[in-house]
Each structure stands twice: as structure tokens, then as C-alpha cells.
């Protein structure tokens, strides 16, 4: 149980995120970790009530995150910015609830971020990755379904792992049906699913999933299972991509977001409108999606520099 006033205030905020705003367990975990750091920082300064925190404490906390200490690794500017966002949301909540008078984090600026373009695989690399699972084994069928879903829909890993068998069966029953995904804040969207992903899902349901399902002590509705018949975890899914990347001979580390980036970049390379890609990815703002146009522009520049005789 929370012992200090500050810990109780954070718990009220996290409960608000979970109940009122429908935040996912992943989001709650990230907020919880960042706010635990914040409370530890304040505690060292003798503050155990968030109403006592000032703008100086918040600014100092953000700066301290980027300094390496004996028991703490320095965070990147992006991670420090994320932590500041959690602190801002916390104080905004306390102010809105009338628990504190104003927010000490409102005027604190995040550290400057360098422009970091998403990593995307080339078409040849993507095809090599998709060819790595062994279709003769249940594990290979499952891994193929996972990879085809991630690349074929651009879905977040949390969205794919949350899928149940019933949703997959509804998709396969109708040739033109889309797949229903629930993104951040449980926002729903429908995405089309191509023939390759459909075939991979069907093969897994028919020849792979029953093998894993029989190992379960209790039946699971999940589409993707581990060998014990339980819903596939994020850690296991990351491992699938890591192994596939090594098998495909790809030097860069492959993550679920790599496939999401690749999905968006290949659509834009093929002439898709950025607004369409925005809807498919489930981005609230087209500004978020427009970073992928920078990837495409960078690709065009690389091709120009390598192919044109008077480019250099």
C-alpha cells in the first residue's frame, strides 16, 4: 500500500488513467516507472507531498535523468521527455481534481530531441524476414502469422497480441472483411488484411494452434499462443522477431516497430496518401505520420546519390 502522501497521489492518478481513460497495462507500467523515479527524486529532497513540488524540482528532475550516476543509467532525451510528460499529466490531474493549486510542470520544457528517422527495411529485407519461419512446424506457423500480421496491417504489437480467435475467424469468413484493432485509449479502427496475412492466419489456426492449445491447462481465446497454450507475451514476440532477423541475415536489431515503420514506408513509396496511412496506423494526428514521408525522401536522396552520374 502507498505509504506517503505523494505515493497516494500517484496511485490516485494511475487509477484515473486505468478507469477513466482506459489506459493499457503497457501505458500504466511506463507511467508508473517514470513516476516512481520522480517520487524518489523528490524524496531525496525531503518532499513527500506533490503539492510542495516547485518548477525548480521538476526542471532539476528532468536534468538529473540525463546524468549518469552510480546506480542509474542516463536516459536519452526521448526517454527524459517521456518522463516529463508523465509528470505533467500527474500534476495536471492533481490540479484538475483540486488537490493542488497549480502545476509546477506546466512551464518546464523537455530536452531538445534530434530528428530521428524510423528504421525501415527494404522490400528484399522484408521478404527475407517473412521467409524465415518453418511452415512444417507449429512454431513456424505461429511466427509466420505474427510477422505477416505486423507487416500486413502496420499494427502495434499490443494490438496483434490482443487478438482473439473469434476475431480471426470473422476475418476469414468474409473475403472483404477488415480486422478490428483497438489502439491507444481503446480507440477502434478497421484495417484491411491482404491475402498473405490471411493465408498465414488460416494455416496457423488449422495446423498450428491446435497443437499448442492441447498443452494448456485452461483454454485461451487468444489467437497467438505460446507452446504452453497461453497468450503469446510481448517478450516472446520480440524474441520471435530477433531470431527471424538473425536468420534473415539482417544486421540491425528487428523490433515490432520496425515492421510498423516498414509498413508505412512501403505504402508511401507505393504512392499511398499520407492521410490513408494515418488512418491505417491509428495516428490521432497526421503530423505523427508525416515523419514517414521524411524516410521516403531520404530513400530517394540515397538512390539519387548512388545512381546518378553527376550527383556527387
pLDDT the model gives residue 71: 54
CA dist 220 → 102, 172, 176 (Å): 47, 20, 27
pLDDT the model gives residue 269: 87
Is 292 a residue of the active site?
yes
Establish if 117 belongs to a structural domain. no
Is 119 a residue of the active site?
no
Is 275 a residue of the active site?
no
CATH number at residue 280: 1.10.443.10
Establish if 178 belongs to a structural domain. yes
**Does 35 lie in the same domain as 151?**
no
**Does 240 lie in the same domain as 181?**
yes
pLDDT the model gives residue 61: 87
Is 45 a residue of the active site?
no
**Does 76 lie in the same domain as 141?**
no
Domain end call among 96, 111, 135: 96
pLDDT the model gives residue 228: 95
Establish if 311 belongs to a structural domain. no
**Does 261 lie in the same domain as 134?**
yes
**CA dihedral sign of residues 187, 192, 197, 203:** positive
**Does 23 lie in the same domain as 159?**
no
**Does 278 lie in the same domain as 203?**
yes
The CA distance from 97 to 82, in Å, is 23
Is 283 a residue of the active site?
yes
Single out the catalytic residue among 292, 301, 308, 312.
292
**Does 296 lie in the same domain as 221?**
yes
Q: Using alpha carbons only, what angle is made at residue 44 by residues 38 and 48, rounded to the nearest 5 degrees?
A: 70
Single out the catalytic residue among 11, 180, 184, 299.
184
**Does 226 lie in the same domain as 147?**
yes
The CA distance from 104 to 262, in Å, is 40
CB 133 within 8 A of CB 248: no
Establish if 92 belongs to a structural domain. yes
pLDDT the model gives residue 70: 45
- Count, residues in the chain: 312
Is 260 a residue of the active site?
yes
Establish if 244 belongs to a structural domain. yes
CATH number at residue 22: 1.10.150
- Of 62, 39, 58, nearest to 112 by C-alpha is 62
**Does 68 lie in the same domain as 216?**
no
User: Where do the H-state alpha helices sit in the chain?
Assistant: 5-19, 25-44, 55-65, 77-96, 123-130, 138-153, 157-161, 165-173, 195-203, 209-213, 234-247, 256-269, 274-281, 286-289, 291-307
**Does 275 lie in the same domain as 163?**
yes
Distance in angstroms between the alpha carbons of the first and the last residue of the chain: 65
Single out the catalytic residue among 91, 142, 156, 261.
156
Q: Is 125 helix (H, G, I), strand (E, B) or coil?
A: helix
Find all residues with CB under 8 Å of 27, minimum gap 6, and list them: 17, 184
Print the domain residue range for 159.
Answer: 123-305
The residues facing 304 across adjacent strands are none
Domain end call among 61, 77, 96: 96
Establish if 106 belongs to a structural domain. no
Establish if 312 belongs to a structural domain. no
Total structural domains in the chain? 2
Single out the catalytic residue among 37, 198, 260, 266.
260
Establish if 162 belongs to a structural domain. yes
Cell 541475415, located at residue: 249
The residues facing 164 across adjacent strands are 222
**Does 214 lie in the same domain as 141?**
yes
pLDDT tens-digit profile, the chain (312 residues): 557 888 999 999 999 999 888 888 888 999 999 999 999 999 998 898 899 999 988 988 888 887 655 456 667 778 888 889 999 999 999 999 988 888 998 888 887 765 565 678 999 999 999 999 999 999 999 999 999 999 999 999 999 999 999 999 999 999 888 999 988 777 889 999 999 999 999 999 999 999 999 999 999 999 999 999 999 999 999 999 999 999 999 988 899 999 999 999 999 888 888 888 898 998 877 777 877 776 776 666 766 677 767 666
**Does 274 lie in the same domain as 139?**
yes
pLDDT the model gives residue 291: 74
Amino acid at each position: 500500500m502507498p505509504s506517503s502522501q505523494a505515493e497516494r497521489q500517484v496511485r490516485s492518478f494511475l487509477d484515473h488513467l486505468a478507469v477513466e481513460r482506459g489506459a493499457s497495462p503497457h501505458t500504466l507500467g511506463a507511467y508508473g516507472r517514470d513516476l516512481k523515479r520522480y517520487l524518489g527524486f523528490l524524496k531525496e529532497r525531503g518532499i513527500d507531498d506533490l503539492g510542495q513540488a516547485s518548477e525548480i524540482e521538476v526542471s532539476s528532475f528532468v536534468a538529473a535523468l540525463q546524468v549518469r550516476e552510480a546506480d542509474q543509467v542516463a536516459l536519452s532525451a526521448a526517454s527524459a521527455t517521456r518522463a516529463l510528460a508523465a509528470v505533467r499529466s500527474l500534476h495536471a490531474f492533481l490540479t484538475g481534481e483540486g488537490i493542488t493549486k497549480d502545476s509546477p510542470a506546466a512551464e518546464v520544457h523537455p530536452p531538445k530531441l534530434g530528428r530521428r528517422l524510423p528504421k525501415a527495411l527494404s522490400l528484399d529485407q522484408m521478404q527475407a524476414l517473412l521467409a524465415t519461419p518453418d511452415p512444417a512446424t507449429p512454431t513456424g506457423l505461429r511466427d509466420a502469422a505474427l510477422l505477416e500480421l505486423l507487416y500486413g496491417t502496420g499494427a502495434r504489437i499490443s494490438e496483434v497480441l490482443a487478438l482473439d480467435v473469434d476475431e480471426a475467424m470473422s476475418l476469414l469468413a468474409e473475403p472483404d472483411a477488415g480486422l478490428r484493432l483497438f489502439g491507444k485509449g481503446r480507440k477502434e479502427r478497421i484495417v484491411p488484411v491482404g491475402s498473405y496475412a490471411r493465408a498465414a492466419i488460416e494455416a496457423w489456426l488449422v495446423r498450428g494452434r491446435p497443437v499448442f492449445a492441447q498443452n494448456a491447462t485452461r483454454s485461451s481465446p487468444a489467437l497467438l499462443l505460446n507452446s504452453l497454450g497461453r497468450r503469446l507475451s510481448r517478450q516472446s514476440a520480440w524474441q520471435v522477431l530477433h531470431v527471424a532477423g538473425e536468420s534473415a541475415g539482417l544486421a540491425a536489431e528487428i523490433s515490432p516497430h520496425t515492421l510498423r515503420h516498414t509498413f508505412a514506408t512501403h505504402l508511401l513509396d507505393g504512392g499511398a496518401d499520407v492521410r490513408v496511412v494515418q488512418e491505417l496506423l491509428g495516428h490521432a494526428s497526421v503530423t505523427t505520420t508525416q515523419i514517414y514521408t521524411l524516410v521516403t525522401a531520404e530513400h530517394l536522396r540515397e538512390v539519387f546519390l548512388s545512381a546518378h552520374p553527376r550527383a556527387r
